Structure 1
């Protein structure tokens, strides 16, 4: 019901899938402290059925572009990876590295169907992802544990999806343009952790832990990076929804800013109990997790955000 709903449709659709997910792994021990590995693997994500567009809300152009897409196909991915595992500093540290290349066929991309107030899944014929991951873990003393992990991933569409209007004007659908990035994939991620242990009594051990996470800029959907990541919308006119309105148009940034999260934990534990005071999101960072728009921004633009600074106490009992 309501202005965003379409009439009830008595319509059925059906999809089916079958396949295998092979994986081949090789390992070579150069020495007790050096191990090399490689693998080739393949997987798939099931296709499915799209919801019908809210046709009564669509402009003629959007109805022609987004109508009639009842289903979407399986997505398949072939991953090629090489890596190493090293033991360092006399056995007190390990360093793991990995390089990978993923070839993606029929990528399932979410598209906002413009004025239709609908979201559809499109298949992008070709895409790829290339990256490197590094993880370092060390225990330099009996009381101190350190860990650091980082990754850099470059993702890119290798195909363009277009639509042609009745007047033979061809446009790109939903930002699915060769060279654009895959959504929700930050180029750089970093995580670090440090834990210090100290004796409290003969049976209780205290600890202090701090973790840090850094997530780089990214986009919720492929289309968000069009026009340099800048979005604009014209609000409903005669309806004056939410009015009185002070302006008929507005601009906003479609990119999700990078963010940093710090968590702290101070506790004591023995063989059965682990009690701790914790502070999540200690710096009270407001992280933009995703962008949500309705009717291409004409009705709503908002962000899903993280939990604010939270202080609490936990007690765990093992039995």
Structure 2
């Protein structure tokens, strides 16, 4: 058996693709080893000099999680925004988008599914047959470029296996919730051509009741996910992976209530739909002088996001009311290609002490938008094309027996071409760069220290909605607001990080600690201008602006402990401080020194699983967050909260059955909020807070059977 740190790169990739783990010792009772696959080379989590959380397939099933939003609280300093049926936008260490309406989006968080870029399209983050979710915190300027200013979420589904297998999964819960999934895998040609097919249907009425329409399904969830994978073991040194992905999310969107309850009054409930198809090819070959990886992918997504803007019905307050509906129809096609060369034993540099990677990357995004809005004289139409070409390299140098230096650089040319039917046209081009320098010191085979500097970046752009609105207003004060936010510059981020990773007690205790300080320059800040209408209601124009600077700092701590052969516990903690150093927002308010939005000061998750014997088990999870601002434009905050989840069940080699509950205390916690306008004509549009709440208490039963 090869030691973990001596196993060849190609050998590791083959094991991962076959769905096997890398055994490192013969000891029976120890924590399972975790490999991070988002790096250039598969790397042990305890050897990776980066703050990373990994959620395994086992943990996904234990939490009865259907979507990424239901496991992200396990990752310290990771948050997500509501404002949709499923969380589409994520924040890492307080950085990340919270919404998208008319404007094009340059994501701060990369979101990858099986090597396919879905950044900004998190609706399809379903977790059925997912092997693990990897959350890399901090800029990934070398690894992924402009879409990963603050971090990367990498979702890897289960791989085809060489032995035939079939499994059925089903669940049922309150709110008329149910799911049914099927997975089949095995060889089409033994030891040569393997397949895997996974299909799931998920249905729920959702958690809102529309009292005006007398319906309880206006925020329903209707989600279909399918994935097919082929793996061709072409030779002892070459493999081809083919992945086909399909998602059809046909969800309702009716969650905001004038009364801040789960009972809505909308007469035109909205929707949050996304239909995505994708295909990816990944060729890997071990050559005499280097290992070769070539990847190409295509993804096409159609989305329909709409809502009743007044949240009410005609007749609720005839003298003051307004009625409007807003709909955003987006089509996005993405094409990517990547070529990597990785050193092997015969091509290391610096007297066989330097492993290198060099690569070329291309991404083309083609996005068309149609906005249909009550107050527009005609549909708004825009086209946003982006072409990204990048060259990257990384060198891992063994400076001594215990000390290593990791150095990486990525140079990227990003060209955008935007135009719309309001006569706005822009084609900015920008050269961007990122990289990292990290020192790693091995204290022992199972412990290490690291310290480093990494640089991330985010592209510049225009505020098309602002430019298109200039002719619609005559008020000098309003025009002054618009003129200040017509364009915004690119943002850069320097991340200083030091960490400690170790395994203790004969690999029964795993510890991961990271301290970080992030220095943001020309920080991009999302906001919206609030412009009064003659009837007392308000209009909104979304925009992005630059704050002069800001900084985010804190720590992440993760402990996993196999306390006994029957009891395994964990404790994860994130502490975060964020502030604007120098920022006056579009309303003219000085926010210098204030916390940034969606950045709770603490976040935690603790829990454990106890084997009761004879196949029976019990699991308890508790998680919570501190309060945080919803926006950089107003003062409304999400209150702090604590949630309790539990699972009781039985598992054997062939089947399992479990009773579970999420948010057992039925806590009302907010995932989105507005605090700068009034929308209730019954109260003459006085300014008051409005909230979207997270999932209430859910109780259900799940069953799996493996043939």
TM-score (norm 1): 0.77
Indicate the residue corresponding to 2:694 in structure 1: 306
SS across alignment from 1:308: coil
Cα distance in 2 for residues equivalent to 1:59 and 1:190: 48
Superposed displacement of residue 314, structure 1: 1.9
Superposed displacement of residue 195, structure 1: 0.5
User: 11-20 vs 105-114, which deviates more?
Assistant: 11-20
* From 634, 637, 643, the counterpart of 1:255: 637
Indicate the residue corresponding to 1:161 in structure 2: 584
Cα distance in 1 for residues equivalent to 2:568 and 2:487: 50
- Given that 2:624 and 2:641 are in contact with CA atoms closer than 8 Å, whether structure 1 keeps it comes out as yes
SS across alignment from 1:222: coil
Cα distance in 1 for residues equivalent to 2:438 and 2:619: 36
Superposed displacement of residue 209, structure 1: 1.1
- Given that 2:465 and 2:542 are in contact with CA atoms closer than 8 Å, whether structure 1 keeps it comes out as no
Indicate the residue corresponding to 1:278 in structure 2: 660
- Given that 1:36 and 1:84 are in contact with CA atoms closer than 8 Å, whether structure 2 keeps it comes out as yes
Indicate the residue corresponding to 1:138 in structure 2: 561
Cα distance in 1 for residues equivalent to 2:581 and 2:541: 25
Matches within 5 A, 1:198-213: 198-200=612-614, 205-213=615-623
Indicate the residue corresponding to 2:594 in structure 1: 180
1:79–1:36 Cα change, 3 Å: same
* From 356, 360, 375, the counterpart of 1:5: 375
CA deviations on 1:168-223 (whole Å, 9 max, x unpaired) are xxxx63x45221111100011111011111332xxxx2221111111001001122
Indicate the residue corresponding to 2:530 in structure 1: 114
1:75–1:61 Cα change, 3 Å: same
SS across alignment from 2:479: helix
Cα distance in 2 for residues equivalent to 1:292 and 1:51: 23
1:315 corresponds to 2:695: no
1:71 corresponds to 2:487: yes
User: 181-190 vs 57-66, which deviates more?
Assistant: 57-66
Cα distance in 2 for residues equivalent to 1:83 and 1:17: 33
TM-score (norm 2): 0.37
Superposed displacement of residue 22, structure 1: 1.0
Superposed displacement of residue 57, structure 1: 7.2
1:52 corresponds to 2:465: yes
1:90–1:29 Cα change, 3 Å: same
Superposed displacement of residue 6, structure 1: 5.0
SS across alignment from 1:132: strand
Superposed displacement of residue 133, structure 1: 1.4
- Given that 1:157 and 1:176 are in contact with CA atoms closer than 8 Å, whether structure 2 keeps it comes out as no
Superposed displacement of residue 50, structure 1: 2.2
SS across alignment from 1:77: strand
1:192 corresponds to 2:606: yes
SS across alignment from 1:65: helix
1:111–1:298 Cα change, 3 Å: same
Cα distance in 2 for residues equivalent to 1:95 and 1:146: 12
* From 616, 626, 639, the counterpart of 1:216: 626
* From 408, 425, 429, the counterpart of 1:16: 429
Q: Alignment length, in residue pairs? A: 276
SS across alignment from 1:297: coil
1:148 corresponds to 2:518: no
Superposed displacement of residue 112, structure 1: 2.3
1:30 corresponds to 2:443: yes
User: 117-126 vs 28-37, which deviates more?
Assistant: 28-37
- Given that 1:195 and 1:208 are in contact with CA atoms closer than 8 Å, whether structure 2 keeps it comes out as yes
Cα distance in 2 for residues equivalent to 1:58 and 1:184: 35
